[in-house]
Chain A
Amino acid sequence: MTHDPGYNFAYLDEGTKRMVRRAVLKAVSVPGHQVPFGAREMPLPYGWGTGGIQVTASILGPQDTLKVIDQGADDTTNAVSIRRFFSRVAGVRTTTRTRDATVIQTRHRIPEMPLREGQVLVYQVPMPEPLFRLEPRLSETRRMHALADYGLMHVKLYEDIARHGHVSTAYNYPVMVANRYLMSPSPIPAFDNPKMDNMPALQLFGAGREKKIYAVPPYTRVRSLDFEDHPFRPHRADAACAFCGARDSYLDEVVCDDRGGRMFICSDTDHCETRQEAAR
């Protein structure tokens, strides 16, 4: 496959890619720290993955195999659109198989299959600042990160527990990276948080509209915030996948009639299909 001759390989010009890669290198060197970068306008709207796309475009080589998921699935509309964008402007191989991919761009999920060394997981990030709901001013949150002053977030979690008996954050659950920086894991369900810890693959986070890049290098400690007497507990629907029977994967709830009927299916389509094939 060849790429669209009207554009440079992977759309961005080489100067821009170098700028993004410099930001990525800095991000890898300071795990969890948000590095500002000169995000460009992309031919997809802000909020639809422009940060992830710029990171992917900058690290992609002709030998790479790309997988794109949204909500865990390869066949959701935006995943289809981004995958098609890269097969057009980069001409790279694409796949839906987690194990075959070298670069996986994701929105809102981490694949169920453990990632291995050499793979890169690129997250699309809407709001990179983990503290933004508590303090919207970037000038203020920058100071808080510099001083590792995260009391505000602990108070929020404490208040949740005092009021509801447990933390009410279900996704985008804040994590501490390498015991230094508080980081937004992007809006993945808290269920996925433990997968980030000591992951052999490189995790890169791109926020286009907010113009920030951050990273978790391989084998880095990523801890979900909690308290000794209220340890972090990931949750999933207490059911089995209606297609593959999985009891350990994250499930989407599907409304199947207007009498309150529900079924649960794997959110990770590749995981589900692999299991179904194995069963056949």
Chain B
Amino acid sequence: MAYVAVKGGEAAIAHAHGWMAECRRGNPAVPGIGVEQIEEQLGLAVDRVMAEGACHDRSLAALAIKQAQGDLIEAAFLLRAYRTTLPRFGHAAPLDTRSMAVRRRISAVFKDLPGGQLLGPTMDYTHRLLDFALAAEALAEPAPEAEAAADEPLRRVADILAADGLMPAECDAGEAPPDLTREPMAFPASRAARLQNLARGDEGFLLGLGYSTQRGYGNNHPFVGEIRQGEVAVCFTPPELGFEIELGSIVVTECDMVNQFQGSRTQPPQFTNGYGLVLGRGERKAMSMALVDRALKAGELGEDRVAPAQDEEFVLMHSDNIEATGFVEHLKLPHYVDFQSELEVIRRMRATAAAPAEDRA
């Protein structure tokens, strides 16, 4: 048999991509899915791609999902690769989630609290039964309209606890936050860098790590102090104007986890906070992020760092799914040369092992 050369790579690549495009479209007799349909009807997928792609643009995220055939990590990658080419003209002011136009706001620690519990749109308490009527495209009954909510800021549970001295208030250290898209991660990382990393991190990775803290790997005893979801204004001060203007508003989900803390020699027993904030309605991610953020505070709080979720370098270096997917999948690339050198070595080692002991050098 003759050696089949690896030549012709260029044509093969073009054809493979052509075939993939065909797979993406599926049966041409079935109407194609529109970007608007994805944006409207697969909203949670759009949210996840925006969060992990670290770019708030619903229609671009929807396009990425369409192009990636619903592979959300691939879609986040497409969005990131686009985002990296955008010019950076400054930092927005920190989002003020206290003045969020809240759609959903729940607390698991107080039965009632100022502003009340607002369930909002949620899958909680649904029965996970496949809805066959949906397959027949039945239109859902329109949901009843709520009375217009009072347009006043809702006090955050974290603020309520802090006011009683039961939980340290989060304060702005006044330092300019790092930008992970411009400067590589360095250790030990600042809290701002940690939160930035987690906010872009893979939902599944953070979910697993958060879960591990609940199962005893870095005991946390968490309570959901508050989850709030809704629109917040993005404000920016252009240097040429010199005063702040509102650029628009985005939907975010914020989670404050309240955790037990035994106290230390220098600090009295009190609650400690884990914080999560993600673009869109990624509630599971916001909760996971808050659990991991709290676990990563182990060092500052003088707790033993024994669990994976408490290990800053381990968590922060492996949270990014774009980096992870690239490096895992690069194993598909040819490794003939490395493998050849391994072959030489293993043959040599086997020969040495088989030789009588006195012959060994």
B-binding residues in A (CB < 8 A): 7, 13, 36-43, 45-48, 50, 70-73, 75-78, 80-81, 84, 107-109, 126, 136-139, 164-166, 168-172, 187-191, 209, 211-212, 235-237, 242, 250-254, 256-257, 261, 263, 265, 267
Within 8 Å by CB of A139, from B6, B85, B187, B336, lies: B187
Given contacts A126-B327, A165-B361, contact A170 B341 (CB under 8 A): yes
Assembly CA distance A265 to B77 (angstroms): 37
Residues of B within 8 Å of A40, CB to CB, are: 84, 181
Of residues 36 through 95 on chain B, the ones whose CB sits less than 8 Å from some CB of chain A are: 77, 80-81, 83-85, 87
Write the nearest CB–CB distance from B334 to chain A, whole angstroms: 5
Within 8 Å by CB of B337, from A47, A168, A250, lies: A250
Assembly CA distance A253 to B346 (angstroms): 14
Within 8 Å by CB of A237, from B12, B87, B317, B344, lies: B344
Question: Which of B188, B333, B335, B341 has the largest number of chain A CB atoms within 10 A?
Answer: B341
- In order of increasing CB-CB distance, the 5 nearest A-B pairs are A46-B326, A47-B330, A45-B326, A211-B184, A170-B341
Interface size on B, residues (CB 8 A): 53
Within 8 Å by CB of B333, from A73, A78, A211, lies: A78
User: Is B183 on the interface with A (CB-CB < 8 A)?
Assistant: yes
**Given A45-B322, A45-B326, list of 17 further CB < 8 A pairs?**
A7-B85, A36-B184, A41-B84, A43-B81, A46-B326, A46-B327, A47-B333, A75-B6, A75-B8, A170-B338, A188-B337, A189-B341, A209-B323, A237-B343, A251-B340, A252-B340, A263-B3
Assembly CA distance A72 to B333 (angstroms): 13
User: Is B348 on the interface with A (CB-CB < 8 A)?
Assistant: yes
Question: Which of B323, B342, B361 has the largest number of chain A CB atoms within 10 A?
Answer: B323
Main secondary structure of the interface of B (DSSP, over half): helix
Assembly CA distance A39 to B322 (angstroms): 13
Assembly CA distance A43 to B83 (angstroms): 11
Assembly CA distance A242 to B2 (angstroms): 12
| Docked-complex contact B341 and A71, CB < 8 angstroms | no
Within 8 Å by CB of B182, from A38, A171, A236, A257, lies: A38
Residues of B within 8 Å of A191, CB to CB, are: 341
Sample (5) of A-B pairs whose CB atoms are under 8 Å apart: A41-B84, A70-B334, A137-B313, A165-B360, A189-B340
| Docked-complex contact A170 and B342, CB < 8 angstroms | yes
Residues of A within 8 Å of B323, CB to CB, are: 46, 209
Assembly CA distance A265 to B3 (angstroms): 10
Within 8 Å by CB of B80, from A41, A109, A169, A172, lies: A41
| Docked-complex contact A166 and B326, CB < 8 angstroms | no
Residues of A within 8 Å of B313, CB to CB, are: 136-139
B345, closest chain A residue (CB): A170
| Docked-complex contact B6 and A47, CB < 8 angstroms | no
Residues of B within 8 Å of A256, CB to CB, are: 1-3
Residues of B within 8 Å of A78, CB to CB, are: 333-334
Residues of B within 8 Å of A47, CB to CB, are: 326-330, 333
| Docked-complex contact A267 and B6, CB < 8 angstroms | no
Write the nearest CB–CB distance from B5 to chain A, whole angstroms: 8
| Docked-complex contact B81 and A42, CB < 8 angstroms | yes
Assembly CA distance A263 to B340 (angstroms): 12
Assembly CA distance A188 to B2 (angstroms): 28
| Docked-complex contact B340 and A253, CB < 8 angstroms | yes
Within 8 Å by CB of A38, from B6, B184, B333, lies: B184
| Docked-complex contact A77 and B84, CB < 8 angstroms | no
| Docked-complex contact B344 and A37, CB < 8 angstroms | no
| Docked-complex contact A45 and B338, CB < 8 angstroms | no
B79, closest chain A residue (CB): A41
User: Is B111 on the interface with A (CB-CB < 8 A)?
Assistant: no
| Docked-complex contact B327 and A252, CB < 8 angstroms | no
| Docked-complex contact A71 and B337, CB < 8 angstroms | yes
Given contacts A41-B80, A41-B81, A171-B341, contact A209 B326 (CB under 8 A): yes
| Docked-complex contact B187 and A138, CB < 8 angstroms | yes
| Docked-complex contact B329 and A71, CB < 8 angstroms | no
Given contacts A46-B323, A139-B313, A209-B327, contact A252 B184 (CB under 8 A): no
Within 8 Å by CB of A126, from B330, B340, B344, lies: B330
A187, closest chain B residue (CB): B338
Within 8 Å by CB of B344, from A38, A70, A84, A236, lies: A236
Write the nearest CB–CB distance from B193 to chain A, whole angstroms: 13
Within 8 Å by CB of A235, from B330, B335, B348, B353, lies: B348
A254, closest chain B residue (CB): B3
A45, closest chain B residue (CB): B326
User: Is B216 on the interface with A (CB-CB < 8 A)?
Assistant: no
